[in-house]
Amino acid sequence: MPIERRSLQILANHCGAAADAMAFALMRTAHSAFVKETEDFSCTLVTPEGEAFASPRQFGAPWYSGINYGPVLEMIGAYEPGDICITNDPYSGNVATHTPDIHIWKPVFHDGQIVCFVVGHIHNTDVGGAVPASLSRSLTEIEQEGIRVPPLKLVSQGRLNEDVLRIIKLNVRAPEQNWGDLKAQIASVNIGERKVHEIIARFGVATFSAGIREMLDYAEEQARAVLRGIPDGEYFFADFADEDGEGGVPCRVALTLRIQGGAVELDYTGSDPQVASSLNMPTGGRERHPLALVGLTYVLYTLNNDLLMNAGTLRAARAIMPEGTLLNAVAPAAVGMRSLTCMLTQIVTFGAFSLALPDRMPATSPGGNSIMNLRTAGWDGRPVMASIGPVGGGGGGTPVSDGPNGAGGAQAFLKNTPVEISEAEVPVLFRRYGLWRDSAGAGRYRGGLSAVMEFQVFAPDTVVTARNRNRSVFSSWGVLGGRAGTLSHFIRNPGTPQEVSLGNTDILRCEPGDVVRVVGAGAGGYGDPFTRDPRLVADDIRQGFVSPERAREDYGVALRDGVVDEDATRALRAAPGRAARTAHFDVGTARAAFEAVWSEERYALLTEFLMAQPIRWRHHFKRRFFAAVAEGQGAELRLAAQMQQIGSALLQSAGLPAAR
């Protein structure tokens, strides 16, 4: 008999509370700031088959709420009480999606039967590899990204496998920190196991087992109800990472969204081939992989805040990700920066849904938050390996409000690391940490301002990594007349004769006394900025969010003695020559110029050519195509003939059959 809906919600609350307890234990016992402060972790209860049915409600990384651990659960032969398993290998089951993410899981037995698993992951600050913090866009193969642990038992019937632990500690830059975090994970799953037993004691094992499946069914029902409220149809949107590798060209994620009768298909055909950098996503092509569908989870929750988020939420969806592409890379492709590409999947999902529901969907956050890590040393020579927090953009303007400043929605529950914590644990001096004026895209409801972080290092050979940097080439887009946000910046020794703009570099080697400034990208606005209430613009000026010059230019608002000058404002807003914006999106001048050459039609021809080639050749050919077009064969030439000519020449130079 189905469980009455009110009782099901009570059971769901208890399961969510169990996940919360796991999260509290993890945060309070972890050693690294990236876990205990930033909260880059997940704690999840999953069915015996691996479907997630409960996650923390205000902590961590909720994009794992729809995860299916089934592929890795099956890689362990048999489970016994007291077992705890571990993996961080992205290509073993496609659950651990880059090497710093250590996943562990523990079976929960009742009367000799597994009733569920308690699982979780943390992002380790470093797991070895070619660069401090293990991740950089410049890496080209998975072997450079640190130690990989295949799915195996870390604890067998309550006994720790010391050999596995020694191997891990030998291969990382901060072994005691990593071991401290791993002990926190073990404590977390042990508490999760205890909490599940308490739930079973209260509700009974039959009700618990039936209830967790009904939770999944209910979440599916809720998701389908939301989707049925969206007009059926096909909606296309694409966006770009700055570069597909050092000195590369923009890297495209394309999405065709198909809504039909309470179901949704997210077709990523048209996205770029897997690249010779670490932007690749190791999804295995699994049609409900959370990395490809986290944007959908956010959209559904935006449209129904009562959504019960679990693996059932994604049953109404399927993703199409052709093999050998950015979203379904094959080994040995590097995957460390998959979070940047995952953010792009979120961005294009919001873009496509904006076309379907323009009056309900906001502009998106910029994505590409710079997660700042340092390898340095204290005055005593003690090595320090630490994260000092993310630096990102704000949230996009919405149909009813400004976007939040400094922390866009794509960051989920992840938090900044307080300056006081970082200075106490890391030998650096923070000179500035706040919001960057004039960074937000203008709109009736403006985007959120970006964050700025400026710090000074003191030890020689300090290495700074800025993982996930993006939006230094193409802006975050605005919607329905809202303007695009500003670009991000990475600068060494700003305001001095030694100032160097680092572009999209994400690794910087510093000398004592160097100052590093990181500025996130501003978020796009929503609606025509000339329709914004002038009093709100005046408030933005008083708070230092907008300069008087940008207020006049972007909003047509003038102030006198700190008060809106109504006559001057009317004159500015009525001045002739202001071009009406009719496009749904404002993508910024750089992307508009890029797409004047690389139009959807041209990109479709490029994709058709690349997908016909061997996987290992595709990225090489993509760059050769871009180089050939940039040499002067521009957009004015006949499109199809030009693309065919370039393709034939490339195949001939590679010794591959021209008929491909």
CA–CA distance from 6 to each of 9, 212, 215, 223, 541 (Å)?
A: 5, 14, 12, 19, 49
What mean pLDDT do residues 640-657 have?
71
| Count of CB atoms situated within 10 Å of the CB of 276 | 21
Say what the pLDDT of residue 642 is: 66
What mean pLDDT do residues 302-314 have?
92
Domain boundary among 506, 528, 550: 528
Say what the pLDDT of residue 658 is: 63
Say what the pLDDT of residue 6 is: 80
**CA angle at 68 for the pair 66 and 69, rounded to the nearest 5°:** 135
Q: Which residues 6+ apart lie within 8 Å of 623 measured at CB?
A: 244, 248, 249
Which pLDDT band, with edges at 50, 70 and 90, does 637 fall under? very low
Could you tell me if 525 and 445 are in contact, meaning their C-beta atoms sit under 8 angstroms apart? yes
What mean pLDDT do residues 481-508 have?
94
Distance CA 143, CA 129 (A): 7
The 10s digit of each residue's pLDDT in 125-171 is 999 999 999 999 889 999 999 999 999 999 999 999 999 999 999 99
Q: Same domain for 157 and 42? A: yes
Q: Same domain for 393 and 517? A: yes
The 10s digit of each residue's pLDDT in 272-292 is 999 999 999 999 999 999 899
**CA angle at 191 for the pair 13 and 84, rounded to the nearest 5°:** 120
Write the single-letter amino acid at 399: P
Q: Same domain for 374 and 472? A: yes
Q: Which of 88, 80, 145, 129 lies closest to 109, judged by CA? A: 80
Domain boundary among 202, 221, 240: 221
> Per the domain annotation, does 281 fall within a domain?
no
What mean pLDDT do residues 444-451 have?
96
Instruction: Please determine, for residue 552, whether its predicted confidence score (pLDDT) is greater than 80.
Output: yes
Say what the pLDDT of residue 650 is: 72
The 10s digit of each residue's pLDDT in 325-354 is 999 999 999 999 999 999 999 999 999 999
Q: Same domain for 98 and 211? A: yes
Instruction: Please determine, for residue 641, whether its predicted confidence score (pLDDT) is greater than 80.
Output: no
Could you tell me if 192 and 22 are in contact, meaning their C-beta atoms sit under 8 angstroms apart? yes
Q: Tell me how many domains the chain contains.
A: 3
Domain boundary among 493, 528, 563: 528
Q: Same domain for 524 and 604? A: no
Instruction: Please determine, for residue 635, whether its predicted confidence score (pLDDT) is greater than 50.
Output: no
Distance CA 439, CA 396 (A): 12
> Per the domain annotation, does 555 fall within a domain?
no
What mean pLDDT do residues 361-389 have?
88
Mean pLDDT of the chain: 92
Least confident of 168-182, 526-540, 570-584: 570-584
Q: Same domain for 603 and 513? A: no
> Per the domain annotation, does 537 fall within a domain?
no
Q: Same domain for 416 and 497? A: yes
> Per the domain annotation, does 391 fall within a domain?
yes
Distance CA 10, CA 16 (A): 10
Could you tell me if 253 and 344 are in contact, meaning their C-beta atoms sit under 8 angstroms apart? yes
Instruction: Please determine, for residue 271, whether its predicted confidence score (pLDDT) is greater than 80.
Output: yes
Expressed as residue numbers, the domain containing 167 is 5-221
Say what the pLDDT of residue 647 is: 75
What mean pLDDT do residues 47-71 have?
87
Percent of the chain at pLDDT exceeding 70: 96
Q: Same domain for 469 and 602? A: no
Say what the pLDDT of residue 660 is: 46
Q: Same domain for 207 and 83? A: yes
Say what the pLDDT of residue 410 is: 65
Which pLDDT band, with edges at 50, 70 and 90, does 636 fall under? very low
Instruction: Please determine, for residue 229, whether its predicted confidence score (pLDDT) is greater than 70.
Output: yes
Q: Which of 554, 463, 591, 553 lies closest to 516, judged by CA? A: 463
